[in-house]
């Protein structure tokens, strides 16, 4: 443990000791480029990683579309699945699975879906709720 602390202190420098040798190689322009890069990454994150806005909810049973619901009117819709009835709730700009007969309730725990491309899957009941829009968001399953 002491070896790790010593190695870390050598790399980063300590308050009581001299600066590490690599720090003397950095010039003010290097620091400016590094800071500009950090600012660029921080600013681009919310612009590039957000999904598009959803305008409709698509409910499927066994991969076949049962109903498409516009996300501009609040309503509830019941869908008959393999083991019971799934209740879909739509509010302006969002949708969720309100109730499902599945044992683990994963799709209910998913909560409100707001971005295009978001999906809640009720596997035991063979029901899928997906939000679509003009531009789909990033699918995190691809990573």
Q: pLDDT per residue over 95-138, tens digit each? A: 999 999 999 999 999 999 988 889 999 999 999 999 998 765 55
Model-level pTM? 0.62
70 vs 90: CA distance, rounded Å: 8
Question: What confidence score (pLDDT) does residue 138 get?
Answer: 54
**Mean pLDDT score of the chain, rounded to an integer?**
84
CB within 8 A of 88, min separation 6: which ones?
57, 59, 69, 76, 77, 78, 79, 95, 96, 97, 98, 129
Give per-residue pLDDT as tens, 92-106: 999 999 999 999 999
Q: Which residues have CB under 8 Å from 70's CB, separation 6+?
A: 55, 56, 90
Point out which residues pair with 79 in neighbouring strands. Answer: 86
| pLDDT value at 141 more than 60 | no
**d(Cα 89, Cα 5) in Å, to the nearest integer?**
55
Which pLDDT band holds residue 77 (cuts at 50, 70, 90)?
A: very high
Written as six digits, the tokens of 143 are: 């990573």
Domain boundaries, the chain: 2-48, 54-142
pLDDT at 82 over 50: yes
Q: Which fold has domain 54-142?
A: mini-chromosome maintenance (MCM) complex, domain 2 (2.60.320)
Q: pLDDT for 3-45, tens place per residue?
A: 777 776 666 665 566 666 777 788 888 889 999 999 999 988 8
The tokens for 42 are 């921080």
- Pick the closest to residue 123 from 140, 135, 106 (CA basis): 106
pLDDT at 44: 85
């Amino acid at each position: 443990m002491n070896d790790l602390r010593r190695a870390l202190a050598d790399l980063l420098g300590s308050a009581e000791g001299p600066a590490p040798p690599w720090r003397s190689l950095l010039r003010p322009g290097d620091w400016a480029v590094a800071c500009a890069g950090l600012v660029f990454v921080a600013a681009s994150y919310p612009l590039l990683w957000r999904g598009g806005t959803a305008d409709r909810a698509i409910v499927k049973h066994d991969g076949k579309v049962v109903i498409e619901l516009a996300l501009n009117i609040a309503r509830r819709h019941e869908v008959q699945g393999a083991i019971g009835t799934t209740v879909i709730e739509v509010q302006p700009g969002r949708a969720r699975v309100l109730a499902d007969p599945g044992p683990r309730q994963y799709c209910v725990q998913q909560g409100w879906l707001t971005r295009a491309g978001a999906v809640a899957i009720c596997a035991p009941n063979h029901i899928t709720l997906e939000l679509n829009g003009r531009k789909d968001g990033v699918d995190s399953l691809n990573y």
